[in-house]
Chain A
Amino acid sequence: MRDVAIVGVGMIKFGRYPEKTVPELAAQAALLALKDAGMDMKSVELMASGNLYQSNAMVGQRILQIIGQTGIPIINVSNACATGSTAFREAYFAVASGAYDVAMAIGSEQMGKMGLLGGGGMGGDPAYSTEGVLGSGLMPAVFGMAGVEHMRKYGTTQEQFAKVSVKNDKHSMHNPYSQYQTEVGLEDVLNARVVSWPNTLYMCCPTGDGAAAAIVCSMEKARQFTTKPIKVAASILTSDPWTQRDLTMPDINTLTRNAAKLAYEKAGLGPQDLDLVELHDCFATAEILHYENLGICGEGEAGRMVDEGATSIGGKIPVNASGGLLSKGHPLGATGVANVCEVVWHLRGEAGGRQVEGAKVGLAHVIGLGSACTIQVLEKV
């Protein structure tokens, strides 16, 4: 395996674009990434396209039908919320393996107002639907219970979870790509209506539309395209291993811990070397769990970490400087590529008002329930 660099990134502001098609959203992001890398489609040798809701509809090919039909191999990827990040990993491996020199990953999604509460039916007679009868398999309850498990183990409070939303909303004020840029106070978060306790409305990520793209290239050719190549120090994907409750209560902790261990080994560094983290805060409860899962604090210390502001911009290890999924938004297939864009901008010193000063190493983490976990460790060269 050879070294791989990111030479171009681009994304559109997450939001709602009912008048656009998915390939149109994705094409905008792709053109931004191409422009950023100073190349055109002729240079791209392989494309991986991540999209969830249209996973049977050849989204990748439809993107190239808009921006340039070069006949290259296209891999359409679907992997729950880790769809975009898995597409990125496909592009990474295409280049790392030596088979291709330049590859593009695109993540896109148009969720409309369908949201994470839609669907759920497995077909058949609705009299046998288990939702709300045998507990809940929907995301708000799953991540509510995951947070409650942390409360049980360490005495973490609803207020500490709520502080995550306050922090990420504050960060989003400086991110022009964020779906929401609204500062909220702790009382506002706690007094908002409860979706699935302990998470209130402001502690749940919004639904929305969006697209992001990243272009990777062999390190040796990277300087043809950019003066600021960003090295992909690790690109890890794991699935859920057997643990005692996993089949009943998805074990997102072991899933992430396994990925983190592999990522740090591959990158040859540890959590103490990270300057920023973009992690999968689909719900405020999730962010707290992942501080410990990624090893940026010790066991049971995550609540205190957010109390002390250690994960705010300017703190010891800023987390979700972009505003996170909670504010920036979570158009499923786009999320994992957008996280890569954000970390790249910080490492290049191009993150504007939310810049983490002097950032040299960043980590982007995504989980998809069911379950998949990706971690990309990116490093300034």
Chain B
Amino acid sequence: MAEAPTAQKTQKPIVPFLRLPENPSEQPYLAGTRCKTCGAVYLGARMACSKCFATEGLDEIKLSDKGELHVFSIVHQSAPGVPTPYVAAIVDLPEGVSVRCNIAGVEPDPKNLKFGMPVQMVTEAIRTDREGNDVIAFSFRPA
């Protein structure tokens, strides 16, 4: 993301592959890379394809904000400062890539989570960084 040389506070994504368009009418999205040679899809940018080793034809694609719950765990004990319990999950996106995320909007109990259930990405400001910028994170919730 290009930085304007001002002290103005802004929104910053928690990871580079979460894109926050400057135009407020556009929704945040996850950016991926698709290998033209073999079709493998990755989160974020790539130097080469780790499936077929191609170093060219690695095109950025906009990933879907809808996916399916692959698996989850209910985390009850974590590193200091991490609120528990919460649902940690792997979500499969239709492009053929998976995302590690929290599942929000459900009580953290296995009975509320169904394999393959449709989920939808949402974003929110979760923290303020040292420069005072809002840190934006994504999670998925039942669609």
A residues at B contact (CB < 8 Å): 117-118, 120, 125, 127-128, 130-138, 140-141, 144-145, 148-149, 152, 193-198, 242, 244-245, 247-249
Once the chains are docked, how many angstroms separate the CA of A248 from the CA of B17?
A: 13
Contact indicator A130/B15 (Cβ below 8 Å)? yes
The one of B15, B42, B50, B73 in contact with A145, judged by C-beta atoms closer than 8 angstroms, is B73
- Of all chain A residues, which has the CB nearest B108? A197
Q: Is B19 interfacial (CB-CB < 8 Å)?
A: no
Closest 10 CB pairs of A and B: A144-B73, A132-B82, A197-B74, A135-B100, A127-B129, A135-B88, A136-B88, A248-B98, A242-B51, A127-B127
B residues at A contact (CB < 8 Å): 14-15, 40, 42-43, 50-51, 70-79, 82-86, 88-90, 92, 96-102, 110, 115, 126-130, 135, 137-139
Once the chains are docked, how many angstroms separate the CA of A141 from the CA of B86?
A: 11
Q: A197-B110, A245-B70 are in contact. Are A127 and B79 (CB under 8 A)?
A: no
Once the chains are docked, how many angstroms separate the CA of A148 from the CA of B101?
A: 16
Contacts of A138 in B (CB 8 A): 78-79
Once the chains are docked, how many angstroms separate the CA of A196 from the CA of B40?
A: 31
Most B-side CB within 10 Å, residue of A133, A137, A145, A193: A133
A198 to chain B, nearest CB (A): 8
Most A-side CB within 10 Å, residue of B75, B97, B130, B135: B75
Contacts of A196 in B (CB 8 A): 73-77, 88
Once the chains are docked, how many angstroms separate the CA of A136 from the CA of B71?
A: 12
Contacts of B128 in A (CB 8 A): 127
Contacts of B127 in A (CB 8 A): 127
Contacts of A144 in B (CB 8 A): 73-75, 88
Contact indicator B76/A248 (Cβ below 8 Å)? no
Instruction: Write 12 A-B pairs (CB below 8 A) sorted by A numbering.
Output: A117-B79, A127-B135, A132-B82, A133-B126, A135-B89, A136-B100, A144-B74, A148-B71, A148-B72, A196-B77, A197-B75, A247-B42
Contact indicator B83/A132 (Cβ below 8 Å)? yes
Contact indicator B79/A195 (Cβ below 8 Å)? no
Contact indicator A132/B75 (Cβ below 8 Å)? yes
Q: A131-B79, A249-B100 are in contact. Are A152 and B74 (CB under 8 A)?
A: no
Contact indicator B102/A194 (Cβ below 8 Å)? no
The one of A125, A193, A244 in contact with B129, judged by C-beta atoms closer than 8 angstroms, is A125
B34 to chain A, nearest CB (A): 13
Once the chains are docked, how many angstroms separate the CA of A192 from the CA of B126?
A: 32
The one of A118, A127, A132, A197 in contact with B102, judged by C-beta atoms closer than 8 angstroms, is A132
Once the chains are docked, how many angstroms separate the CA of A120 from the CA of B82?
A: 12
A197 to chain B, nearest CB (A): 4
Contacts of B110 in A (CB 8 A): 197-198
